Amino acid sequence: MFFKAPPHRNLFTERLRLRAPSFLDVSDVFEFCSDPASSKYADWYPHNFKSDTRDFLAWLKRKSSDKSYTWVIEHREDEKVIGTISIVDADYSGKIFTVGYTLSKIYQHNGYATEALKALTDYLFGELFAERVQAKVIPENEASCRLLERVGFKKEGTLKKGAFCKTECVDVFIYALTNKLKS
Protein backbone atom coordinates (compact mmCIF):
# COMPACT_ATOMS: atom_id res chain seq x y z
CA MET A 1 0.00 0.00 0.00
CA PHE A 2 1.32 3.47 -0.91
CA PHE A 3 1.04 6.35 1.53
CA LYS A 4 1.02 9.85 0.04
CA ALA A 5 3.02 12.48 1.86
CA PRO A 6 1.24 15.42 3.41
CA PRO A 7 2.37 18.89 2.35
CA HIS A 8 5.47 19.84 4.27
CA ARG A 9 5.13 22.76 6.64
CA ASN A 10 7.41 25.20 8.42
CA LEU A 11 9.15 23.78 11.47
CA PHE A 12 10.16 25.93 14.43
CA THR A 13 12.70 25.65 17.22
CA GLU A 14 13.71 28.17 19.84
CA ARG A 15 16.20 29.84 17.48
CA LEU A 16 15.36 28.52 14.02
CA ARG A 17 12.64 28.36 11.41
CA LEU A 18 12.82 25.62 8.79
CA ARG A 19 10.86 26.79 5.75
CA ALA A 20 10.57 26.40 2.00
CA PRO A 21 13.38 27.98 -0.04
CA SER A 22 12.64 31.22 -1.87
CA PHE A 23 14.45 33.14 -4.58
CA LEU A 24 14.70 35.94 -2.00
CA ASP A 25 17.23 33.69 -0.22
CA VAL A 26 19.83 33.93 -3.02
CA SER A 27 22.30 36.18 -1.16
CA ASP A 28 22.23 34.20 2.07
CA VAL A 29 22.43 30.82 0.33
CA PHE A 30 25.23 32.05 -1.95
CA GLU A 31 27.17 33.06 1.16
CA PHE A 32 27.54 29.46 2.36
CA CYS A 33 27.24 27.64 -0.97
CA SER A 34 30.17 29.60 -2.39
CA ASP A 35 32.39 28.38 0.47
CA PRO A 36 34.29 25.23 -0.62
CA ALA A 37 34.07 23.95 2.98
CA SER A 38 30.26 23.80 2.70
CA SER A 39 30.32 21.60 -0.39
CA LYS A 40 33.31 19.44 0.54
CA TYR A 41 31.14 16.41 1.36
CA ALA A 42 28.12 17.35 -0.76
CA ASP A 43 27.12 16.22 -4.22
CA TRP A 44 27.28 19.80 -5.51
CA TYR A 45 30.19 22.12 -6.28
CA PRO A 46 30.82 25.53 -4.67
CA HIS A 47 28.82 28.30 -6.32
CA ASN A 48 30.93 30.81 -8.22
CA PHE A 49 28.14 33.24 -9.04
CA LYS A 50 24.75 34.17 -7.60
CA SER A 51 23.27 32.75 -10.80
CA ASP A 52 24.59 29.34 -9.65
CA THR A 53 22.64 29.82 -6.44
CA ARG A 54 19.48 30.86 -8.31
CA ASP A 55 19.82 27.69 -10.41
CA PHE A 56 20.36 25.65 -7.22
CA LEU A 57 17.21 27.11 -5.60
CA ALA A 58 15.24 26.43 -8.81
CA TRP A 59 16.54 22.85 -8.78
CA LEU A 60 15.46 22.43 -5.12
CA LYS A 61 11.96 23.61 -6.04
CA ARG A 62 11.81 21.32 -9.10
CA LYS A 63 12.94 18.24 -7.19
CA SER A 64 10.55 18.92 -4.33
CA SER A 65 8.07 16.04 -4.34
CA ASP A 66 6.61 13.33 -2.19
CA LYS A 67 10.06 11.68 -2.08
CA SER A 68 12.32 14.70 -1.58
CA TYR A 69 11.97 18.05 0.14
CA THR A 70 14.39 20.75 1.31
CA TRP A 71 13.88 23.40 3.95
CA VAL A 72 16.18 26.37 4.43
CA ILE A 73 17.39 26.82 7.99
CA GLU A 74 16.61 30.40 8.96
CA HIS A 75 17.97 32.07 12.10
CA ARG A 76 14.79 33.52 13.63
CA GLU A 77 16.42 36.51 15.31
CA ASP A 78 17.74 38.10 12.11
CA GLU A 79 15.90 36.01 9.45
CA LYS A 80 19.24 35.00 7.90
CA VAL A 81 19.36 31.69 6.04
CA ILE A 82 22.26 29.70 7.51
CA GLY A 83 21.83 26.29 5.88
CA THR A 84 19.56 23.66 4.40
CA ILE A 85 18.09 20.42 5.69
CA SER A 86 16.37 17.86 3.53
CA ILE A 87 14.41 14.71 3.20
CA VAL A 88 16.68 13.29 0.51
CA ASP A 89 14.52 10.23 -0.06
CA ALA A 90 11.24 9.00 1.39
CA ASP A 91 9.75 5.53 1.37
CA TYR A 92 6.22 6.13 2.68
CA SER A 93 5.21 2.48 2.46
CA GLY A 94 8.02 1.48 4.82
CA LYS A 95 8.04 4.90 6.51
CA ILE A 96 11.81 5.20 5.99
CA PHE A 97 13.33 8.64 5.44
CA THR A 98 16.87 9.58 4.41
CA VAL A 99 17.99 13.05 5.50
CA GLY A 100 20.83 15.41 4.67
CA TYR A 101 21.94 18.89 5.70
CA THR A 102 24.41 21.72 5.10
CA LEU A 103 25.20 24.50 7.55
CA SER A 104 27.18 27.66 6.95
CA LYS A 105 30.69 27.32 8.37
CA ILE A 106 30.33 30.53 10.37
CA TYR A 107 27.26 29.15 12.17
CA GLN A 108 28.74 25.76 13.02
CA HIS A 109 29.57 24.76 16.62
CA ASN A 110 26.64 26.73 18.04
CA GLY A 111 24.09 23.91 18.24
CA TYR A 112 22.09 25.05 15.19
CA ALA A 113 22.56 21.82 13.22
CA THR A 114 21.58 19.77 16.27
CA GLU A 115 18.49 21.93 16.76
CA ALA A 116 17.47 21.66 13.08
CA LEU A 117 18.04 17.91 12.90
CA LYS A 118 16.06 17.33 16.11
CA ALA A 119 13.19 19.41 14.68
CA LEU A 120 13.20 17.37 11.48
CA THR A 121 13.37 14.00 13.22
CA ASP A 122 10.58 15.07 15.61
CA TYR A 123 8.46 15.99 12.57
CA LEU A 124 9.24 12.72 10.79
CA PHE A 125 8.48 10.52 13.81
CA GLY A 126 5.65 12.62 15.23
CA GLU A 127 3.71 13.66 12.11
CA LEU A 128 4.81 11.35 9.31
CA PHE A 129 5.00 8.30 11.63
CA ALA A 130 8.50 7.31 10.52
CA GLU A 131 9.79 3.88 11.46
CA ARG A 132 13.36 4.84 10.53
CA VAL A 133 15.31 8.00 9.74
CA GLN A 134 18.74 7.50 8.23
CA ALA A 135 21.68 9.47 6.90
CA LYS A 136 24.69 8.61 4.75
CA VAL A 137 27.98 10.24 5.76
CA ILE A 138 31.36 10.25 4.07
CA PRO A 139 33.69 8.81 6.75
CA GLU A 140 36.03 11.83 6.69
CA ASN A 141 33.12 14.09 7.70
CA GLU A 142 33.69 13.57 11.41
CA ALA A 143 31.62 16.62 12.43
CA SER A 144 28.56 15.16 10.73
CA CYS A 145 29.14 11.79 12.43
CA ARG A 146 29.29 13.54 15.83
CA LEU A 147 26.12 15.52 15.03
CA LEU A 148 24.17 12.39 14.19
CA GLU A 149 25.38 10.64 17.34
CA ARG A 150 24.44 13.70 19.45
CA VAL A 151 20.88 13.47 18.12
CA GLY A 152 20.72 9.74 18.90
CA PHE A 153 21.53 8.14 15.55
CA LYS A 154 23.54 4.90 15.67
CA LYS A 155 26.20 3.97 13.15
CA GLU A 156 25.13 0.71 11.53
CA GLY A 157 28.02 0.12 9.16
CA THR A 158 29.63 1.10 5.89
CA LEU A 159 27.98 1.07 2.48
CA LYS A 160 30.65 0.40 -0.13
CA LYS A 161 30.21 2.86 -3.01
CA GLY A 162 27.00 3.90 -1.25
CA ALA A 163 26.76 7.49 -2.49
CA PHE A 164 27.71 9.58 -5.46
CA CYS A 165 29.83 12.62 -4.59
CA LYS A 166 30.65 14.99 -7.45
CA THR A 167 32.42 12.61 -9.85
CA GLU A 168 32.49 9.20 -8.22
CA CYS A 169 30.79 6.71 -5.98
CA VAL A 170 32.24 6.78 -2.48
CA ASP A 171 31.99 4.65 0.64
CA VAL A 172 29.68 6.05 3.30
CA PHE A 173 28.73 5.29 6.86
CA ILE A 174 25.04 4.63 7.37
CA TYR A 175 23.51 6.09 10.52
CA ALA A 176 19.94 5.45 11.65
CA LEU A 177 17.42 6.42 14.28
CA THR A 178 14.40 4.16 14.69
CA ASN A 179 10.97 4.61 16.18
CA LYS A 180 11.59 4.07 19.89
CA LEU A 181 7.98 3.08 20.55
CA LYS A 182 8.25 0.00 18.31
CA SER A 183 11.89 -1.01 18.82
Provide the pLDDT for residue 157: 98
Q: Could you state, in order of their start, the residue ranges of all structural domains in the chain?
A: 11-132
* Residues 4-10: contacts with CB under 8 Å, at least 24 apart: 4/66, 4/92, 5/66, 5/67, 5/90, 5/92, 5/128, 6/127, 6/128, 8/69, 8/71, 8/87, 10/71
Provide the pLDDT for residue 104: 96
Provide the pLDDT for residue 131: 96
Q: For the whole model, what pTM was predicted?
A: 0.93
Provide the pLDDT for residue 6: 56
Provide the pLDDT for residue 66: 72
Q: Is 147 exposed, middle or buried (0-12, 13-18, 19+ CB in 10 A)?
A: buried
Residues in the chain where the model's pLDDT stays below 70: 1-7, 181-183
Q: What topology is assigned to 11-132 in CATH? A: Aminopeptidase (3.40.630)
